[in-house]
Amino acid sequence: MAATTLTFMVPKRQILTKDDLEKFRESDAYNDYVGFTERLNNSVKGLSLSTECFISPTLSKMLELLDKANTYCEEIPPVQNEKSRFGNPAFKVFYSRIANNAEELHEIFSLPPEAVKEVSRYFMESWGDQKRIDYGTGHEANFIAWLLCFEKLGLIGPDDYTSIVLRVFQKYIDVMRNLQFKYWLEPAGAHGGWGLDDYHFLPFMFGSAQLIGHKYIKPKSIHDKDVVDEFSKEYMYLACIKFINSVYTKQT
């Protein structure tokens, strides 16, 4: 869709009730979001993270932006926080830096000026909740919405899908893991048996697509520490298992 046919607005939370959720599930926005996610998923079937893929100028700038966010994290150390095991207050400083610079950071892209506030808001909301110092799948969803904005604006397309997952999304996960460890972000609405990871969902979806047709790695392989350690750098699913094992080891 050409950018000239689009209208823009600053996103705000509108799914507050079950009825709101049902309304969203019947909307074009829902179909666009789910369809985009499914296309990304299909693009990485059977592919490892080391698969060579083309990085367009737009994706290169996305990676640059994610590196900038990680730099912010490295520059802002956690503070003494004896009151709680979760939720280091230094995260609020990190979030403020992202929020205060979000629009300026997006100047590296060729965005229509009227789109900057909307696109940058999705990016800002991808890092967690400043007040609660938590992070969950809703924030992850904002990151996918951010990526979808670029497709709507005609800046990325099908040729970029594999690179988006294996490079851009993976970089986002790397930065988020850094934040989760450094500031001990509270899991936002952990659902126990509904998900293995208290923070993320999509690495399991994309990661399972990566493992389709693998000769040796099977579902039961997640219980084999040697397999997890050896292949966690190549497959998102196993990287998540390794992260979970490390977190629970540290907590016990």
Residue 143 has a pLDDT of: 98
Residue 27 has a pLDDT of: 95
Residue 163 has a pLDDT of: 98
Radius of gyration of the chain (CA): 18
DSSP state of 85: S
Residue 219 has a pLDDT of: 87
Mean pLDDT in order along the chain per 10 residues (252 residues): 70 92 95 98 98 97 98 95 80 98 96 96 96 93 97 97 98 96 84 66 95 91 92 94 77 47
Counting every residue written for the chain, the total comes to 252
Residue 3 has a pLDDT of: 47
DSSP state of 185: P
Structure pTM?
0.92
Residue 150 has a pLDDT of: 98
Residue 141 has a pLDDT of: 95
Residue 124 has a pLDDT of: 97
CA distance 78 to 149: 33
CA distance 171 to 177: 10
